[in-house]
Structure 1
Amino acid sequence: MPETLITTPFGFESTAAEVVEGIDLTGKRAIVTGGSSGIGIETARALAGAGAEVTLAVRDTAAGERVANDIDGDVRVGHLNLADQPSVKAFAAAWDGPLDILVDNAGVMALQELTRSPEGWELQFATNHLGHFTLATGLHDALKAAGKARIVSLSSVGHLSAPVDFEDLHFERRDYDPMIAYAQSKTANVLFAVEAQRRWGADGITANAVHPGAIFESNLARHIDPAVLQQLRTSGSYRFKTLQQGAATSVLLATWPALEGQGGHYFEHGNEAPIVEAPVIPHPGSGVAAYALDPANAERLWEVSEALVA
Structure 2
Amino acid sequence: MIVTPFTAESTAEQVVEGIDLTGRRAVVTGGASGIGVETARALAAAGADVTLAVRDRAAGERTAEDIVATTGNKQVWVAVLELTDRASVAAFTASWDGPLHLLVNNAGVMAAPLTRTPEGWELQFATNHLGHFGLTAGLHRALAQGAAETGRGSRVVSVSSAGHLRSPVDFDDPHFERRGYEPWTAYGQSKTANILFAVELTRRWQADGVTANALHPGGIRTNLQRHVSEADLDAIRRSVGAASFSWKSVEQGAATSVLLATSPLLEGVGGRYFEDCNEAGPNRPGERTGVAAYALDPEAARRLWTVSEESLAS
TM range (shorter): over 0.9
Give me the whole-angstrom Cα distance separating, in 2, the residues matched to 1:28 and 1:103.
13
Q: Could you say which residue in structure 2 is the equivalent of 1:125?
A: 125
Report matched runs for 1:72-221 at 5 Å. 72=68, 73=73, 74-112=75-113, 114-147=114-147, 148-216=153-221, 218-221=222-225
Q: Could you say which residue in structure 1 is the equivalent of 2:67?
A: 71
Q: Could you say which residue in structure 2 is the equivalent of 1:22?
A: 18
Residues 24 and 183 from structure 1, CA distance in 2 versus in 1: closer, same or farther, beyond 3 angstroms? same
1:228: how far off?
Answer: 3.8
* Kept after mapping to 1: 8 A contact 2:2/2:265: no
* Kept after mapping to 2: 8 A contact 1:232/1:238: no
For 1:128, the aligned partner's letter is N
1:277: how far off?
Answer: 4.5
Q: Which residue among 31, 54, 62 is the counterpart of 1:58?
A: 54
Give me the whole-angstrom Cα distance separating, in 2, the residues matched to 1:231 and 1:209.
25
- Secondary structure, aligned partner of 2:118: coil
Residues 232 and 125 from structure 1, CA distance in 2 versus in 1: closer, same or farther, beyond 3 angstroms? closer
For 1:132, the aligned partner's letter is H
Give me the whole-angstrom Cα distance separating, in 1, the residues matched to 2:58 and 2:277.
32
For 2:282, the aligned partner's letter is I
- Secondary structure, aligned partner of 1:25: coil
Q: Could you say which residue in structure 2 is the equivalent of 1:222?
A: 226
Give me the whole-angstrom Cα distance separating, in 2, the residues matched to 1:249 and 1:68.
22
Give me the whole-angstrom Cα distance separating, in 2, the residues matched to 1:89 and 1:289.
32
Give me the whole-angstrom Cα distance separating, in 1, the residues matched to 2:76 and 2:2.
31
Aligned residue-pair number: 300
For 2:158, the aligned partner's letter is S
Give me the whole-angstrom Cα distance separating, in 2, the residues matched to 1:170 and 1:209.
22
Q: Which residue among 248, 272, 277 is the counterpart of 1:241?
A: 248
Give me the whole-angstrom Cα distance separating, in 2, the residues matched to 1:228 and 1:262.
36
For 2:308, the aligned partner's letter is S
- Secondary structure, aligned partner of 2:84: coil
Residues 207 and 232 from structure 1, CA distance in 2 versus in 1: closer, same or farther, beyond 3 angstroms? closer
Q: Could you say which residue in structure 2 is the equivalent of 1:41?
A: 37
Q: Which runs of no fewer than 5 residues in structure 1 stay unpaired?
A: none
Q: Could you say which residue in structure 2 is the equivalent of 1:31?
A: 27
Q: Could you say which residue in structure 2 is the equivalent of 1:263?
A: 270
* Kept after mapping to 2: 8 A contact 1:47/1:54: yes
Give me the whole-angstrom Cα distance separating, in 1, the residues matched to 2:123 and 2:144.
30
Give me the whole-angstrom Cα distance separating, in 2, the residues matched to 1:63 and 1:98.
26
Which segment drifts farther, 83-92 or 120-129?
A: 83-92
RMSD (Å) for aligned C-alpha atoms:
1.4
For 1:158, the aligned partner's letter is G
* Kept after mapping to 1: 8 A contact 2:213/2:260: yes
1:239: how far off?
Answer: 2.1
Where does structure 1 differ by over 6 angstroms across 4 or more consecutive aligned residues?
none
- Secondary structure, aligned partner of 1:261: coil
Give me the whole-angstrom Cα distance separating, in 2, the residues matched to 1:196 and 1:277.
26
1:224-259 CA deviation, whole Å, 9 max, x = no partner? Answer: 114543675694463211000000000000001121
Give me the whole-angstrom Cα distance separating, in 2, the residues matched to 1:45 and 1:132.
21
Q: Could you say which residue in structure 1 is the equivalent of 2:257?
A: 250
- Secondary structure, aligned partner of 2:268: coil
Q: Which runs of no fewer than 5 residues in structure 2 stay unpaired?
A: 148-152
1:219: how far off?
Answer: 1.0
1:275: how far off?
Answer: 1.3
* Kept after mapping to 2: 8 A contact 1:16/1:43: yes
Give me the whole-angstrom Cα distance separating, in 1, the residues matched to 2:45 and 2:234.
33
For 1:204, the aligned partner's letter is G
Give me the whole-angstrom Cα distance separating, in 2, the residues matched to 1:228 and 1:236.
17
Which segment drifts farther, 250-259 or 237-246?
A: 237-246
For 1:287, the aligned partner's letter is G
Give me the whole-angstrom Cα distance separating, in 1, the residues matched to 2:237 and 2:30.
24
Report matched runs for 1:278-293 at 5 Å. 283=288, 286-293=289-296
1:304 equivalent in alignment to 2:304: no
